[in-house]
Amino acid sequence: MSRTGCVWCPDWPVIAARRHADNIGNDELRSRPLIVRERVGSRDVVRCASADARAVGVTRGMRRREAEARCPEAVCIDADEANEARTFEVVARAIEEFTPRVVLERPGRCEFPTRGPSRYFGGDDALAAKIRDGVAAVLGPDGDDVRIGIADGVFVARLAARRSVVVPAGGSAEYVAPWPVSVLDDDDLASLLVRLGLPTLGAVAALAPDAVLARFGSEGRRIHELARGIDPGPSVLIAPPPDLVERTELDPPAERVDIAAFAAKELADRLLERLAERGLACTRVLVEAETEHGERLTRCWRNARSELGDALTAGVLAERVRWQLDAWINTGETTAGITGLALIPDEVVPADGRQLGFWGGDQVAHQRADRALARVQGILGYDAVTTAVVQGGRTAGEQVRFVPWGEPREVELPLAVGSEVAAWPGALPPPFPARVFDPPVPAELVDVGGNAIAVNGRGEQPRPPTHVRCRALPAGGGAVRAWAGPWPYDVRWWDVRARRRGARWQVVVNNVACVVVVEGGRAAVEAIYD
């Protein structure tokens, strides 16, 4: 187990956003509390909040709406991970002054082996102080809260960085014992352990190893080891086969991030595919770039939770490489276009998640589909390839959310009171229309006298509809054979500007069933049962 140092800049998304704002001359973010939000599935949650926002109760993972209610004066901005990575590049470079082997895990946190540099600079404490000064110097006013921990192994070093301490060699077990199990970064497991009466890592460590192995399997054994402060890294390390280095030449040289990143994406796919052919996966990778002027830049990235053996997936790897290229190109480290890119697997473990599914879950078919769909995304754009997720809503259009291919599909469970599933007021029951027009196609809904149908404030129509005319209907519409409605709706009545009122009918015209909506005196066909 090697001595490892960990540098952690708390609230990095906030620092990165403020530094970016400084660069473009926007000083509003400095003077007011700041909330950085991100989308997790369908939820809009707080990714990070500045210290003054946290002081009034804004916490990470809180819904944005609640956070804004608690801290109304805060500025709320979207997370920009590329900017976070770009800004962190200066920190990584400052640490490289002291040690050449910096491993980035995510923007805001990186690790490095300390054996050599500690000996050179006169001990762990001296090295930590030097690096802290170095990082604080490049960060200026944002560098007040840079935390450095040094301990045995990555996991303990990361915990040490939270308190900015140096854990002496062999003191890991004692240091990790009081930490709660939530630091294992696995919410399901943490909640289970707490329910089992094991709130701290010390309590887990006190269990008999074979009992943990029997209950949780090999992952449990690793957790038990981590709880005892033993961090052997991924269970089985294999020397990376030297012929697996993926290289590509860029001609003409790439001066823009997106061009280089596009090449890098292919490289990442190819690297993981070739590793997979040998039953391997990669937890740490070296990104290397060469420019026209002969500059050679390298940076090492590792996957989060790689101490538990989680390997990089193609998407995660491509994202890391993209961040790195962005950081190099946009912080002026490259003085010319990039002519060559290489991905070098640095830490390789046996792949364990590639077993073919036993029932149904056919991995091969999935991968084939995945490749084809990714290709179509390359042709049409990321958002053009989607899968649909059913969600709550009034209209057929609102009841579906289209999630870009490759993003997590978070299925929303319907609101249930007891065993009753709560119905959406105003939603039409099944069958559902197979063609939904968004925006609705303008139409005419008229009565016998040819007057447009309108609905009064009480949701009543004075005369029944007899004709519908619309270009979306065959033969342009015609006489109404059967109809039901109107079903009035009043959406967002609390917001004067966003309020929408109208009514809906189900209508059968010429044997074609459709949904007609009248809003603000204008009729439109919203959907056809095709």
Partner 1 sequence: MVAALSPSLPRRDEHARAQLRAAATRAAPAVLAGDRLLAVAGPIGHLLPAGGIRRGSTVALDGPPGAGSTTVALLLAAATTSVGEWVAVVDPAGTLGARAAAEVGVALERCAIVRPVAPDRWATVVGALIDGVSLVAAVVPPGLRPGDARRLTARARERATVLVALGPWPVEASLRLHAQGRDWSGLVVGGGLLAPSEIDVRVEGKGVRALAQARAQAG
Q: Where on the chain is the footprint of partner 1 (CB under 8 A)? A: 360-362, 365-366, 368-373, 375-376, 379-380, 384-390, 396, 399-400, 402, 405, 409, 428-438, 464, 472-474, 481-484, 506, 508, 510-514, 527-530
Element (H, E) at 441: strand 435-446
Nearer to partner 1, 216 or 262 (CB): 262
Query: Could you tell me the smallest distance in angstroms from the CB atom of residue 141 to partner 1?
Result: 47
Nearer to partner 1, 20 or 469 (CB): 469
CA 9, chain centre distance (Å): 20
- Tell the smallest beta-carbon distance from residue 504 to partner 1 (Å): 12
Instruction: Collect all residues with Cβ–Cβ distance below 8 Å to 202 and sequence separation of at least 6.
Output: 176, 177, 178, 227
Is 108 strand, coil or helix?
Answer: coil
Minimum gap (Å) between residue 250 Cβ and partner 1: 24
Q: Are 338 and 290 in contact (CB under 8 A)?
A: yes
Q: Report, in Å, the least distance between residue 519 CB and partner 1.
A: 19
Residue placing its CB nearer to partner 1 in the complex, 216 or 483: 483
User: 375 vs 499, which CB is nearer to partner 1?
Assistant: 375
Give CA–CA dist 455/460, Å, rounded: 5
422 or 479: CB nearest partner 1: 479
For residue 272, the minimal CB distance to partner 1 (Å) is 18
Q: Which amino acid is at 427?
A: A
Residue pair 27/43 in contact by the 8 Å Cβ criterion = no
CB of 433 to partner 1, least distance (A): 5
Do the beta carbons of residue 472 and residue 497 sit within 8 Å? no
Taking the complex as a whole, the smallest distance from the CB of residue 384 to partner 1 amounts, in Å, to 6
DSSP string, 223-242: HHHHHTT----SSS-BPPPG
Of the pair 69, 380, the CB lying nearest partner 1 is at: 380
d(CA 354, CA 281) in angstroms, rounded, equals 10
The answer to whether the CB of 206 falls within 8 A of the CB of 198 is no
Distances (CA, A) of 147 to 117, 171, 416, 510: 18, 19, 46, 73
The secondary element (H helix, E strand) that includes residue 326 is helix 314-330
| Among candidate residues 105, 408, 162, the one with its CA nearest the CA of residue 283 | 105
Instruction: Write down the least CB distance from residue 488 to partner 1, Å.
Output: 16
Residue 97 CB, shortest distance to partner 1, in Å, is 48
| Residue number with CB closer to partner 1 (304 or 411) | 411
Cα separation values, 173 from 143, 155, 197, 335, Å = 30, 12, 20, 48
Q: Whole-angstrom Cα distance, residue 525 to residue 512?
A: 12
Closer Cβ to partner 1, 327 or 527, answer by number: 527
Nearer to partner 1, 120 or 432 (CB): 432
**ω into 141 cis (within 30 of 0):** no
Nearest to 108 by CA among 10, 213, 200, 187: 10
Nearer to partner 1, 249 or 362 (CB): 362
Q: How far is the CB of 484 from partner 1 (least distance, A)?
A: 5
Q: Which is nearer to partner 1, 43 or 368 (CB)?
A: 368
* DSSP-assigned letter for residue 382: G
CB of 388 to partner 1, least distance (A): 3
Which one, 293 or 366, has the nearer CB to partner 1?
366
Measured CA to CA in angstroms, residue 377 lies from 257, 382, 385, 522 at distances of 18, 5, 6, 37
**In the complex, what is the shortest distance from the CB of residue 255 to partner 1, in angstroms, rounded to a whole number?**
27
SS3 103: strand
| C-alpha span between 272 and 266 (Å, rounded) | 10
Q: Is 185 left (phi over 0), alpha (psi -120 to 50) or beta?
A: left
As a whole number of angstroms, the distance between CA 5 and CA 149 comes to 6
Task: Report the nearest approach of partner 1 to the CB of residue 439 (Å).
Answer: 11
In the bound state with partner 1, the residue whose beta carbon lies nearer, of 91 and 385, is 385
Q: Which amino acid is at 3?
A: R
Residue 523 · residue 517 · CB < 8 Å: yes
Distance CA 190, CA 359 (A): 29
